[in-house]
Structure 1
Amino acid sequence: MSCNNDNDDDSQRTPLSPQPPINYVEQLNLSKDKAKYNPGEGVRFFVDDVVPNTIIKYKFLGQTIGEAPLASTSWQWSPPSDDYKGYMVELIQIANEQQTVLGTAAVDVSSDWTKFPRYGFLSDFGAISEAQRNSVIANLKNFHINGLQYYDWHAKHHIPLPLDAAGNPKNSWVDLFNREVKLETVAGYIEEGHNRNMASMFYNLLFGAWHPEQGDGFSERWLIYNDRFHNKINSHDLDGFGSILITNPQNEEWQNYIFTKTKDVYDHLNFDGWHLDQLGDRGQVYDYGGHDINLKNGYNNFLTALTANFPSKKHVLNAVDQFGYNEILSTPMDFAYSEVWTRMQYADLVQVILENNEASNNQLNTVLAAYINYESSDGFFNTPSVLLADAVIFAFGGAHMELGEHMLSREYFPSNNLQMDNELKNSLKEYYDFMTAYQNLLRDGGEFITTSITSTDLNFNNWPPVFGNVSAVAKRFANRQVVQLLNFNGVSSLNWRDNEKTQTRPHTFYNVNMTIDSPMSVSKVWFASPDFEGGASKELEFKNNGNSITFTLPYLNYWSMIVFEN
């Protein structure tokens, strides 16, 4: 999508002045019992109090499909049985002819969580009590996290689950950094996650060996080398903790070995699949016999064999800085996962998502591991950094690996050096509600298009972002035109990582005059924003000018969405 200037003539413009933002806080703490729901499954809701003259509205893409009075602090709703749909539930108080949104919550009805992955993580498997585990899972459920990556839960990379002489799993072991891992904790997290319809994916490299010992059944012939004479093993150094030795993913003996160890995992722990990791471009490497190795092709070979061996399990391989993403996504992966390193601009994040869309023939949605405020050592996350990055990622149909027992700022997931302030906690809840409720517009097909926007109030341009402008991301569906508005008016940087925590909040604008070109016949215009009234949808008055629609945008801070329907 190219950038264009839709406002060449500024002579008639009287730009809007920035206004204070609305800091929306839900009043009734609306929540539900699970992260997602299978078709035909009922949804249980909870609120803190019953407020008179409040109704519950159940909506699908801005259309009310049911409503009832709020009469209890808990109740059940049966969504339509259609698969892969997102809904918004709104609590609306009506008094003196005024409507006030007291709370919102999204509902995802999907039989397979990987259709719309909202990925989180767990990273501490020591002596965690059942109550503590349940608290962590319950919190992630409120963000609709439907899949969990169990980071560094394993013992050795080549023997992830240690067994005793009788073939039973040991009760505890240590990970590669000598942290204790308890079998009871891992199993307990898996069970509690399943109770909330959250899948559990065990983390492990696809090609790593950690301190192989006599009796492990490991062979140095499976390793890759930096020379043709197998003198120097290719390895990943962990300073004082030793090195991970890198195996050849295309070696059939290695595949058979690690698949056997993987079966041990599945035989004793009810994991739903394997989150595979790699280490990026290893340079020129050779097998034990001195032959050149093409690691990207090796990934393809390994993944094809893996999915054939475990057809009922889910699989995803991290494309580290997009290394091998084409080869990875040409195998039957369940979603795309990319750890972003060298691509530093907001436009770069989008490019990764678009590359994954193309490589998977638009069949897989993307999760980005993109570490915000990466070089900051303590304090709080910079809220504008997180929200603007999430707005960009979510608007293009991606998800962000960022939520677990804490919020993620480093590639070592147990690192907990930065905290979320209350504004960020509250805002993120609305952003994840928004991504889930409107997933059928954000992550379920449609064709990206360019559109023309004119306004006497603000400067607009088609993506990519321009300082001082609002960037438009338009999509066309069979009976809808959707425009995401991403606000870069007032930001200090187009760098998403924001190591110095200097990103500023975009300016806030109310009642923005807008005209958007639309080739279709428009019968309805509606608006929603994660920054406004909990993402509740609002129908707008509009004027049809033939091939364009004029309306007033109620609110714009980070991200707003406009939908035309015919």
Structure 2
Amino acid sequence: MKKKKILITICIAAGVIALGSFAAYRFFRDTRKVSVIENKNSVLLDMYTDKSRYAPSDTVNFKIKLSDKSKDYVNKKVCVYFRHLNKTVGRKEIRIPSSKEISFTWKAPKDDFTGYLVESYLIDNTSVKDYIATAVDVSSDYSRYPRYGYLTDFDKRSSADNKKIIDDLTKYHINCIQFYDWQYKHDKPLAGTVDKPDESWPDIANRTNYGATVKDFIKYCHENNMMAANYNLMFGAFYGYEKNGVKQDWALYKDAEKTEQDFHPLPNTWASSQLFIFNPANEEWQKYIFKREKEAMQVYPFDIWHVDSLGDRGYLYDNKGESVDLSAGYDGFLNNAKKALNKRIVFNPVNGYGESNTAAKSDLDFLYKEIWPTKYATFDSIKNCIDLLRGFSPKYKAVVLAAYMNYNFKEGHFNDNAVKLTDAAMFSNGASHIEIGDKVNMLCNEYFPNKDLVMSDKLKKDMRSYYDFLTAYENILLDKNEEVDKEEAVRVENYKTSDTAEADSIWASARKNDKYEMINLINLLGVESTNWRDDDGECKKPKEAVKMKVKYYTDTDVKKVNLASPDIDNGKSTELSFKKGSDSKGKYIEISVPKLEYWDVLYFEK
């Protein structure tokens, strides 16, 4: 009898163990169904990679930072899932160590130009105790999905401090850095000579830049698979430019009589209170400035020349008194620069001036544009701006927009709501935003070193999620796609819906490519103004929409619908229920969407 009881006990125990193992197995397969995790980031504090992008088959190095609470979970499982959109492409199981950091690796798949979300779950028995995620971009070239950042501070500091600045930007997957105002003078960017460069020099604002810092930043950019972009104006020179070999014969004038050379005004306290303007189509000016740029890049190994302009300058005249179409010379200048320097080229046609010419004829890595409310004031105009710029190019190219938030707000923190809605407007329409740089700060002004505003700690964390999302879902957000050409293709039951980003509505749009269709839902409910810049930092948080019924008219035979959002669980994909139907407008699917905070993406395979 005693032996029988022991046998029964053993059988029960074995059954419990088997049941637990089966439950763990089921969990391992079904983590996408886990939507609520208590005490999120209480143990798993941070997760990031060592580089901003990886070549196919590269080894990806991950770190997970742990809190003091990790001591209660030593040797517990962390289950890691590698996902491409809604598909699991790899799994790994690791254990919580006694130290406060986990390191592990993953061999990237062979597929080029592919984004992944990497999800980590802390498991205690069969329950989820914590969750964290990051993204991986597997791309052999940065220009397919440029995530552009910036540096403005080239002061003297330790090499370790310079490395930390680059490593912190790497956590946002920034894969290209603009070195803003790193140079000595616009017409003589290299201080000193190639053989004997100066150790330090004053920049245009009389800030001191250090050559060792510039070299450090370039080195650490390259170590982290970031491109380094040398910033300079296409056609500017300091006062006294003749001393450097610049000739007035190359200048542009405001009148045919040549009584006043065109210039861009600057503060009187700067190294030059005027930037004098020269004709970019003039071959002698081109030879001169290309030589100067080549000298600078012999000493500082930049990958790119980021060429700036100043927008529409009005009526201009050359040294012969003949009228000059300034933008007509842009494409020739840019193509000649690429040949002369053997470097990649990025160009800023300010507010679109010259974009039709340069996008169509210039050999640019991607399409860049600084936008201003005089032409592009609203969320909907951002979409139109992206479509217009990309439409000028004979080849599909990535788009990066420079757009400065909370422009008139001179002290304090950025408005989180405006920042997230503006990024959603750009990312959902296939563009990225140059905004994050330096010591994880954000642009609020066209003079990049301006630091009137700073990001709150919350916004820094939220931007991590947004950049993880942009990277993980690059194939549906940034690959070539087109707007679904159907009036009112998307409607949200019981909520005002708009396809033109009207105030107090859900901005709903649908896009498609060869593989996927997707619906973007951007929340403008309770948002009174649709001006993206939110000059005075007054944008209110949108009213959260819940239990939505989203109707999408499509002839596609939809099998599954997935929801992903940078506002929910670090962007993890979740399968949603839907039903099919038809009415007088045609076939549709009706999708049950649990909530909308700022931006949701619904996607499905065709």
Scaled by the length of structure 1, the TM-score of the pair is 0.92
Indicate the residue corresponding to 1:326 in structure 2: 356
**Range moving further from structure 2, 509-518 or 362-371:** 509-518
Q: CA deviation at 1:495?
A: 0.7
Structure 2 SS opposite 1:29: strand
Contact 2:490/2:509 (<8 A) preserved:
no
Indicate the residue corresponding to 1:552 in structure 2: 592
Q: Distance between the aligned counterparts of 1:226 and 1:245, measured in 2?
A: 11
| Structure 1, unpaired ranges of 5+ | 1-21
Query: What are the equivalent positions in structure 2 for 1:173-192 lying under 5 Å apart?
Result: 173-192=201-220
1:114-155 Cα offsets, whole Å, 9 max, x none, are 111100000011213212211211111000000000001111
Contact 1:201/1:275 (<8 A) preserved:
yes
Structure 2 SS opposite 1:258: helix
Q: Distance between the aligned counterparts of 1:517 and 1:25, measured in 2?
A: 39
> Is the counterpart of residue 59 in structure 1 residue 73 in structure 2?
no
Indicate the residue corresponding to 1:32 in structure 2: 49
Q: CA deviation at 1:100?
A: 6.7
> Is the counterpart of residue 501 in structure 1 residue 532 in structure 2?
no
Q: CA deviation at 1:231?
A: 2.0
Contact 1:229/1:288 (<8 A) preserved:
no
1:60-103 Cα offsets, whole Å, 9 max, x none, are 11111111213361100012111111111111345686657611
Indicate the residue corresponding to 1:6 in structure 2: none
**Matched AA of 2:498:** N
The structure 1 residue matched to 2:452, chosen from 395, 417, 427, is 417
Indicate the residue corresponding to 2:99 in structure 1: none
Indicate the residue corresponding to 1:92 in structure 2: 121
Indicate the residue corresponding to 1:282 in structure 2: 313
The structure 2 residue matched to 1:112, chosen from 129, 138, 141, is 141
Structure 2 SS opposite 1:87: strand
Contact 1:492/1:502 (<8 A) preserved:
no
Structure 2 SS opposite 1:194: helix
Structure 2 SS opposite 1:103: strand
The structure 2 residue matched to 1:48, chosen from 52, 56, 65, is 65
> Is the counterpart of residue 561 in structure 1 residue 601 in structure 2?
yes
Evaluate the alpha carbon distance shift between residue 97 and residue 25 of structure 1 in structure 2; reply closer, same or farther with a 3 A threshold: closer
**Matched AA of 1:119:** Y
Q: CA deviation at 1:467?
A: 2.1
Indicate the residue corresponding to 1:10 in structure 2: none
Count of aligned positions:
542
Structure 1 SS opposite 2:131: strand
The structure 2 residue matched to 1:400, chosen from 433, 438, 443, is 433
Q: Distance between the aligned counterparts of 2:575 and 2:493, measured in 1?
A: 22
Structure 2 SS opposite 1:173: strand
**Matched AA of 1:319:** P
> Is the counterpart of residue 140 in structure 1 residue 164 in structure 2?
no
Indicate the residue corresponding to 1:8 in structure 2: none
Q: CA deviation at 1:422?
A: 2.1
Contact 1:123/1:152 (<8 A) preserved:
yes
Q: Distance between the aligned counterparts of 1:273 and 1:97, measured in 2?
A: 51
Q: Distance between the aligned counterparts of 1:101 and 1:524, measured in 2?
A: 27
The structure 2 residue matched to 1:124, chosen from 134, 147, 153, is 153
The structure 1 residue matched to 2:255, chosen from 227, 232, 256, is 227
Q: CA deviation at 1:258?
A: 0.7
Q: CA deviation at 1:228?
A: 1.6
Contact 2:489/2:509 (<8 A) preserved:
no
Query: What are the equivalent positions in structure 2 for 1:295-306 lying under 5 Å apart?
Result: 295-306=326-337
Contact 1:28/1:102 (<8 A) preserved:
no
The structure 2 residue matched to 1:520, chosen from 530, 534, 556, is 556
Contact 2:476/2:516 (<8 A) preserved:
no
**Matched AA of 2:344:** K
Larger RCO (CA within 8 A; separation ≥ 6): 1
1:460-484 Cα offsets, whole Å, 9 max, x none, are 232x112222111211222321111
1:511-553 Cα offsets, whole Å, 9 max, x none, are 3222222211111111100000000111122223363222211
**Matched AA of 1:231:** T
The structure 1 residue matched to 2:396, chosen from 347, 363, 373, is 363
Indicate the residue corresponding to 2:34 in structure 1: none
Evaluate the alpha carbon distance shift between residue 550 and residue 248 of structure 1 in structure 2; reply closer, same or farther with a 3 A threshold: same
| Structure 2, unpaired ranges of 5+ | 1-37, 97-101
Contact 1:337/1:366 (<8 A) preserved:
yes
Indicate the residue corresponding to 1:14 in structure 2: none
Indicate the residue corresponding to 1:316 in structure 2: 346
Evaluate the alpha carbon distance shift between residue 537 and residue 426 of structure 1 in structure 2; reply closer, same or farther with a 3 A threshold: same
Q: CA deviation at 1:255?
A: 0.3
**Matched AA of 2:83:** K
Contact 2:123/2:130 (<8 A) preserved:
no
Evaluate the alpha carbon distance shift between residue 214 and residue 304 of structure 1 in structure 2; reply closer, same or farther with a 3 A threshold: closer
**Range moving further from structure 2, 236-245 or 542-551:** 542-551
**Range moving further from structure 2, 548-557 or 378-387:** 548-557
**Matched AA of 1:263:** K
- State the identity as a percent: 35
The structure 1 residue matched to 2:502, chosen from 466, 489, 498, is 466
**Range moving further from structure 2, 523-532 or 510-519:** 510-519
Contact 2:489/2:510 (<8 A) preserved:
no
Q: Distance between the aligned counterparts of 1:550 and 1:317, measured in 2?
A: 44
> Is the counterpart of residue 537 in structure 1 residue 537 in structure 2?
no
Q: CA deviation at 1:390?
A: 0.7
Q: Distance between the aligned counterparts of 2:502 and 2:378, measured in 1?
A: 12
Contact 2:187/2:241 (<8 A) preserved:
no
Contact 1:319/1:325 (<8 A) preserved:
yes
Give 1 or 2 for the bigger CA radius of gyration: 2
Evaluate the alpha carbon distance shift between residue 505 and residue 23 of structure 1 in structure 2; reply closer, same or farther with a 3 A threshold: farther
Contact 1:45/1:75 (<8 A) preserved:
yes
The structure 2 residue matched to 1:382, chosen from 390, 411, 415, is 415
Q: Distance between the aligned counterparts of 1:25 and 1:453, measured in 2?
A: 35
Structure 1 SS opposite 2:324: coil
> Is the counterpart of residue 267 in structure 1 residue 298 in structure 2?
yes
Q: Distance between the aligned counterparts of 1:320 and 1:24, measured in 2?
A: 43
Q: Distance between the aligned counterparts of 1:98 and 1:383, measured in 2?
A: 33
Q: Distance between the aligned counterparts of 2:130 and 2:215, measured in 1?
A: 40
Evaluate the alpha carbon distance shift between residue 465 and residue 430 of structure 1 in structure 2; reply closer, same or farther with a 3 A threshold: same
**Matched AA of 2:530:** L
Q: Distance between the aligned counterparts of 1:388 and 1:305, measured in 2?
A: 39
> Is the counterpart of residue 511 in structure 1 residue 547 in structure 2?
yes
The structure 2 residue matched to 1:203, chosen from 231, 252, 266, is 231
More helix by share: 2
Indicate the residue corresponding to 1:456 in structure 2: 493
Moved over 6 A (4+): none
1:403-462 Cα offsets, whole Å, 9 max, x none, are 111211011111111111122111111000000100010110122114533443423232
Q: Distance between the aligned counterparts of 2:308 and 2:482, measured in 1?
A: 31
Evaluate the alpha carbon distance shift between residue 485 and residue 280 of structure 1 in structure 2; reply closer, same or farther with a 3 A threshold: same
Scaled by the length of structure 2, the TM-score of the pair is 0.86
Q: CA deviation at 1:163?
A: 2.3
Indicate the residue corresponding to 1:487 in structure 2: 523
Indicate the residue corresponding to 2:468 in structure 1: 433
